[in-house]
Structures are given as structure tokens and as C-alpha cells.
A and B are shown apart, each in its own frame.
Chain A
Amino acid sequence: MNSQFNKGVIEMCVLALVNQRDFYGYELVETISKRIEISEGTIYPILRRLTSEKFFETYLKESSEGPPRKYYKMTAAGKQETEKMLSAWKKFSSDVNSIIKGGE
């Protein structure tokens, strides 16, 4: 997929996932890459930016496999942003679909 197009979409996927529950970094890579091709290098800058925008909070939690992992948790501001983004996306994608189907 076109990479410029991709990045905004992945950011939205990250917001939508963390809106459901807390995630750690690689968990997001794995979940998203089941459907869309992404890699480790894509996710870190996105997580950093969303955290610095105060959309996410982070905390460290012990893991059974080794050192603690950093978890990302949605803030109230992040929730608001996610809802705004998702409703814009729903409208956009249904409009695009109607056009593709040949409607007006």
C-alpha cells in the first residue's frame, strides 16, 4: 500500500485498539500486521507521538517472560480524538464505497 496513505490509517488503528484495552508495543505490531503489513519501526514513532500529544498514558508492568513492558492506556483526550477520527473515517469510507459502486 502507498506509504503515506498507510501511516495515517495505522495511527487510527492504534488509537482504535488502545481504545478497547491497554496494549504494549509489540502486541500492537502483531495485531495490526495480521491484516496490514507493518513492522516494528512503524509503530514506535506513532506511539511516541500519541503519548506526547497526551492521548496515551504509559505504565510499566511486569511480564512473565522477562523485564517489564510498557503499556499504553487511553486518556480522556485520546478517547475524544479517537471518536472524532472514527466517525470521520466511517463517513469517508462509506462515501468512497458508494462512489466505487457507481452511485452518486
Chain B
Amino acid sequence: MTKTQFIEQLKKALSGLPQSEIDDIIRDHEEIIRDALAAGRTEESIVHSLGQPSELARSLKAEIKIEKAQDEVKLGAKMRGMFGALGAVLVLAPFNLIFVLGPMMALFGILLGGWATAVAITVVCFTVAIAFFFFTVVMPSGILGWVGIGFGFLGVMFLGLAGLGIMYMVSMMVAQLILRYLKWNLNFVKRQAGAV
């Protein structure tokens, strides 16, 4: 393969990334090739040492997707970014599936349970509190008791809301942890592949 073919194929394989990232990666490789040629290396051996453009692009894409997702500050965007990164890592190393997917399923099960609990507490307590306040209208006798119980449920509802807030933070942390794991996993896979 000539250097022109290498650069062309790399450019094509990188498509999907932001243009600025592609330009930067291409610029860096052009510089390395130029310097290696100037040092007297042959074009063929340089291109050979840089590896297959498609392979190189796949691993760069996975890395960049992980970095982007790590920088997201909103839960929705972070989760979407995380799944995108997961996809990219799995494309790179499908045999990896069990090591990544198993622990992730378990974590998501726990997260889902937490969200469901927080939502249930909030919704149920709100409804019950409303019901008790309604009773004070239709059955004015013993009004203080009903109102008291109503406020009790409202209080618990706020606990549920606090739970939602906590779940948001926990979910962010879990996503961040998974992304760090993916990054580590990616480096490990690349080392195993003997990229040197």
C-alpha cells in the first residue's frame, strides 16, 4: 500500500467522527509518514508499521466515543454515549462480549430497581396524600387526623423525590465507571492484539 492509499483509506474508515477529529488524525499520520520518509525509511515499511487503516480507525473511534461520553454532563446524553462506546468496543473485539455485557446487565438491573422504587414511592405517596386531603372535604369530622396522615404521606413522597435525585447521581457514577472499564478493556484488548 502507498502512503496516499493509506491516508485515503484511513479518511474513509474514520467517517462518522467529527470532521475536526478526522483532520487531526490525518494530519498526525501525514506528519509521521513525512518524517519517517525523510529519515530514510521506505514507504512500504512505514505504512506496514502503521497497520491496517480499517483496524486503526475502529480502535480510534472506540477510544474517541468513550472520551466523548465521559465528558457528557447530562445523564441521557451520557447513557447514549456509553451505549455508542459499548457498540464500538464490541465491534473491535466481539469475543469480549461476556466480560463486558454480563457485569453491565447486573448493574443495569440494580439501577432499574432503584429507579422503580423511587418512582413508586413518589407516585404512590402523592396519590395517597391527595386522597386524604380529599377525605377532609367529604368527611369533615376528624379533620385533623386526615390532614395529619395526608402530610405524613407528603413527607414520604419527598423522600421518594430525594431518592430520584440520588438515583440520578448514582446512574451518572455507574455510567462513568462503565466507561472507565471500557477504556481499560480497550487498552487490554489492544495489548493482547500485540499492537507493538
Q: Which residues of A contact B (CB under 8 A)?
A: 3-4, 6-7, 10, 24-27, 29-30, 38-45, 48-49, 52, 65-67, 69-70
Contact with A along B15-34 (1 / 0, CB 8 A): 00000000000011111111
Expressed in whole angstroms, the Cα–Cα distance for A29 and B32 within the complex equals: 9
- Among the stretches B35-43, B96-104, B153-161, the one at the interface with A is B35-43
Q: Which chain A residues lie closer than 8 Å to B94 at the CB level?
A: none
State which of B49, B59, B67, B187 has its C-beta within 8 Å of the C-beta of A40.
Answer: B49
Cβ contact within 8 Å between A6 and B196: yes
Q: Which chain A residues lie closer than 8 Å to B29 at the CB level?
A: 44
Expressed in whole angstroms, the Cα–Cα distance for A43 and B196 within the complex equals: 9
Cβ contact within 8 Å between B63 and A48: yes
Can you add 8 more A-B contacts, CB < 8 Å, to A41-B49, A65-B38?
Answer: A3-B195, A7-B191, A25-B32, A40-B41, A40-B49, A44-B32, A67-B34, A70-B31
Q: Which chain B residues lie closer than 8 Å to A69 at the CB level?
A: 31, 35
Q: Which residues of B contact A (CB under 8 A)?
A: 27-36, 38-39, 41, 46, 49-51, 59-60, 63, 67, 187, 190-192, 194-196
Q: Which chain A residues lie closer than 8 Å to B34 at the CB level?
A: 66-67
Q: Which chain A residues lie closer than 8 Å to B194 at the CB level?
A: 3-4
Cβ contact within 8 Å between A26 and B36: yes
Expressed in whole angstroms, the Cα–Cα distance for A61 and B46 within the complex equals: 23
Expressed in whole angstroms, the Cα–Cα distance for A48 and B57 within the complex equals: 13
Q: Which chain A residues lie closer than 8 Å to B33 at the CB level?
A: 40
Cβ contact within 8 Å between B32 and A26: yes
Q: How many whole Å from B121's CB to the nearest CB in chain A?
A: 41
Q: How many whole Å from B191's CB to the nearest CB in chain A?
A: 5
Cβ contact within 8 Å between A42 and B31: no
Q: Which chain A residues lie closer than 8 Å to B63 at the CB level?
A: 48-49, 52
Q: Which chain B residues lie closer than 8 Å to A30 at the CB level?
A: 39
State which of A6, A40, A65 has its C-beta within 8 Å of the C-beta of B50.
Answer: A40
Cβ contact within 8 Å between B59 and A45: yes
